[in-house]
Structure 1
Amino acid sequence: MNQPAQPATRIGQATTIEMSRAEAEVKAAVVIAQQNPRNIHAAVDEMRFACQQYALAEKAFFSYPKGKETITGPSVHLARELALIWGNVQHGTMELSRDTGLGQSEILAYAWDLQRNSRSSQIFIAPHVRDTRQGKKDLTDLRDVYENNANLGARRLREAIFAMLPAWYVSEAVSICEETLKKGNGQTLAERVTEAIQTYDRVGITVHQLETKVGRPQDQWDEKDITDLEVIYRSVDRKEMTPAEAFPPPKVTADEITGGQRQNAEPGSEVRS
């Protein structure tokens, strides 16, 4: 009779060497960070300069639908840039395990201030599914699973970095990026409106849908309106949401359908459902 396989009772030499190397690398990073503390004033000056650059500001925010509302906030791109400027910070995501039978992965997202030895981390389960308009779709292709895990990991990484960075530092960066977006990239408001309409037209979104989203006709849009539309488009372009999710079609009620039937019916006739 075949005996069941027994778990390994010892760690291989290669694994031992790698564990020792990783431990030594972490200790060295902590020592170097504490011996070379960050210059907070220099970091703030560099942050202000970076956030005044349109190339960063245009990637600094995300947008996604939640119920009847559109949620916006600082993106993982801004989080990574602020962590780089702050200095003495390590961050990342790591897939700890993958279970194709259960259709899920276990992922770690972390941000670590080596100088202060302050760490924010989260281990979470990433289901191998994708939400679609037809419901949830199971993911079996390795590339789809990887992209799904990377997308979910980036969200948790954003939270970890912002939890580790000083709140006042993040708040000022967000404010500067918002002002940079309102100013635009050297274009007039009219030029930005025209470009936004043309850009959305390429993904099948009409002017009427944009005006419904903003709540005003295009000739009344201001800098904030066009900035919000630009943020939404970049989220669509990054596949954080679909055009249909960003601009859902209007829902027709039963009363409207029945009312329309009655209006089109001949006098004296009955409307049957």
Structure 2
Amino acid sequence: MNQPVPLPSTTAPARIGQGTAVEQSRAAAEVQAAVVVAQQCPRNIQAAVAEMRESCKQQGLAERAFFRYSRGGQTITGASVHLARELARVWGNVQYGLVEMRRDDEYGQSEMQAFAWDVQTNSRNSSTFIVPHRRDTKNGPKQLTDMRDIYETNSNNGARRVREAIFAILPPWFVEEAKELCNQTLRDGGGKPLAQRIADAIKTFEGIGVTADRIENRLDRPSTKWTEHDVAQLIVIYKSIQRGEVTAEDEFPAPRVSADELTGGKADKPATDPTK
């Protein structure tokens, strides 16, 4: 009985470059070393909590600890990626990052992966997602072709996934205490008197074209009755405006002016007949 003769393969096995092979070996060794170090030097939870509390007392971190943006007519707020990275640092033995796995210029999109990994407990969270190379504008979506624009779009979209990945592996009580402490730091205002912080907030918003009247309309009370919570909220809004998450017009809409106010109350009034 004749046995079939195997035909030689016409496709050569895929080869990787020397640089890629070296990088793969380095990455594997780095992961193995991180696990060994985590087992030999486990985290001190009491020390991590103490360092977290000290970090959250700093005004610089508290002012960047929260984000704010509008979606579907609603305001979305929460802890920012800046707070997530700081908590990952003080918790210790945590690796996180954002990787562009593949870029498709033909379809105008990038395949990204965000991850966070507690190397001590081997708790890992990751997500893979597609980022289109376009930006939403008032005139509709705009296709991106500049490399810097694509990089910034990928980073901005990835930062939200990295934030959620970090929070997914950290203990909830650790995160909640950090958020409350940051809120308390914002309310305290670095020890400044409330009147001074109100004046500073008004001056800061005037620098971006937002008058005190618009802020008072937004808070629904005059500046003389603002509280520590109001000033803390204004700080979060201002930082979100700086980061481009919201606009000043969305948060502080200019008051509508009626036709009577524009014309001094003389608009659309019927002329008086002198014979009557």
Same fold (TM over 0.5): yes
Cα 1:14–1:119 shift into 2, 3 Å: same
Cα drift, residue 167 of structure 1: 0.3
Whether the aligned pair in 2 keeps the contact of 1:105 and 1:125 (CA below 8 Å) is: yes
C-alpha root-mean-square deviation of aligned residues, in Å? 2.5
Q: 1:77 aligns with which of 59, 77, 82?
A: 82
Cα drift, residue 178 of structure 1: 0.5
Cα 1:136–1:108 shift into 2, 3 Å: same
Cα 1:132–1:219 shift into 2, 3 Å: farther
State the one-letter code of the partner of 2:85: R
Q: 1:149 aligns with which of 127, 145, 154?
A: 154
2:209 aligned counterpart, secondary structure: coil
Tell me the residue number matched to 1:164: 169
Query: Matched residues in 1 for 2:177 and 2:154: separation?
Result: 31
1:185 aligned counterpart, secondary structure: helix
Cα drift, residue 152 of structure 1: 1.0
Query: Matched residues in 1 for 2:220 and 2:143: separation?
Result: 37
TM-score normalized with structure 2 length:
0.85
Cα drift, residue 11 of structure 1: 2.3
State the one-letter code of the partner of 1:149: N
| More displaced stretch, 13-22 vs 108-117 | 13-22
Query: Matched residues in 1 for 2:55 and 2:12: separation?
Result: 52
Q: 2:220 aligns with which of 215, 218, 242?
A: 215
Structure whose alpha-carbon radius of gyration is higher: 2
Query: Matched residues in 2 for 1:137 and 1:218: separation?
Result: 41
Q: Where does the alignment leave 5 or more consecutive residues of structure 1 unmatched?
A: 1-5, 269-273
Query: Matched residues in 1 for 2:202 and 2:136: separation?
Result: 28
| More displaced stretch, 49-58 vs 176-185 | 49-58
State the one-letter code of the partner of 2:51: E
Tell me, yes or no, if structure 1 residue 91 matches structure 2 residue 108: no
Cα drift, residue 26 of structure 1: 0.7
TM-score normalized with structure 1 length:
0.86
Tell me the residue number matched to 2:3: none
Query: Matched residues in 2 for 1:247 and 1:99: separation?
Result: 40
State the one-letter code of the partner of 1:54: Q
Tell me, yes or no, if structure 1 residue 24 matches structure 2 residue 29: yes
Tell me the residue number matched to 1:271: none
Whether the aligned pair in 2 keeps the contact of 1:64 and 1:246 (CA below 8 Å) is: no
Tell me, yes or no, if structure 1 residue 175 matches structure 2 residue 177: no
Cα 1:131–1:37 shift into 2, 3 Å: same
Q: Where does the alignment leave 5 or more consecutive residues of structure 2 unmatched?
A: 1-10, 272-276
| Pairs aligned (count) | 259
Query: Matched residues in 1 for 2:250 and 2:60: separation?
Result: 26
Query: Matched residues in 2 for 1:136 and 1:187: separation?
Result: 44
Cα 1:29–1:153 shift into 2, 3 Å: same
| More displaced stretch, 8-17 vs 219-228 | 8-17
Tell me the residue number matched to 1:265: 268
Post-superposition Cα deviations, 1:36-86, rounded to whole Å, max 9, x if no partner, equal 110111111111111112121111111112233322211111100000000
Query: Matched residues in 1 for 2:231 and 2:74: separation?
Result: 18
Over the matched positions of the two proteins, sequence identity in percent amounts to 55
Tell me, yes or no, if structure 1 residue 42 matches structure 2 residue 47: yes
Query: Matched residues in 1 for 2:191 and 2:245: separation?
Result: 27
Post-superposition Cα deviations, 1:87-133, rounded to whole Å, max 9, x if no partner, equal 00001111112222222211111110000000011111112222233
State the one-letter code of the partner of 1:70: T
